[in-house]
Amino acid sequence: MATILTVDDTASMRQMISFTLNSVGHEVIQACDGKEALQLLQGKKVDLVIADVNMPNMDGITLVKSLREQADYKFTPILMLTTESQESKRQQGKVAGATGWIVKPFNPEQLLNVVKKVLG
């Protein structure tokens, strides 16, 4: 099973994502913003990153850009999980290098399907 990093400033969202992914056996690590996520990922490899867009300290789009600059995370799937649904925001995410866009609230089955798909 895969190791997945979830980045969200809301504790309950992190809990729900972890709970959903743990239920099928994935290992989940948590970060509360982009800055903490980057610190956690130093010297550690994860198979997938699920990040919120609007967060304090460092937002999700900046996190994606920073990760894509690192050789280790050039091709790691990154899913954005956010309340944002405007096309302009999606485009920003796409341009930054995000793999997919999921609008909150997520359905656990739907999330697991997407995770399965992007993990191959």
- Is residue 19 close enough to count as binding other proteins by CB under 8 A? yes
- Is residue 60 close enough to count as binding other proteins by CB under 8 A? no
- In the region spanning residues 62 to 101, those forming contacts with other proteins, defined by CB under 8 A, are 82-87, 89-90, 93-94, 98-101
DSSP conformation letters of the chain: --EEEEE-S-HHHHHHHHHHHHTTT-EEEEESSHHHHHHHHTT---SEEEE-SS-SSS-HHHHHHHHHTSGGGSSS-EEEEES---HHHHHHHHHHT-SEEEESSPPHHHHHHHHHHHH-
Options 12-20, 24-32, 35-43, 62-70: segment touching other proteins (CB under 8 A):
12-20
Q: How far is the CB of 31 from other proteins (least distance, A)?
A: 16
Radius of gyration, CA atoms only, the chain: 13
Pairing of strands 100-103, 78-82: parallel
**Is 22 or 44 the residue whose CB approaches other proteins more closely?**
22
Among 15, 29, 47, 65, binds other proteins (CB under 8 A): 15
Q: How far is the CB of 51 from other proteins (least distance, A)?
A: 14
Instruction: Catalog residues that contact other proteins under the rule CB under 8 A.
Output: 8, 10-13, 15-16, 19-20, 54, 56, 59, 82-87, 89-90, 93-94, 98-110, 114, 117-118
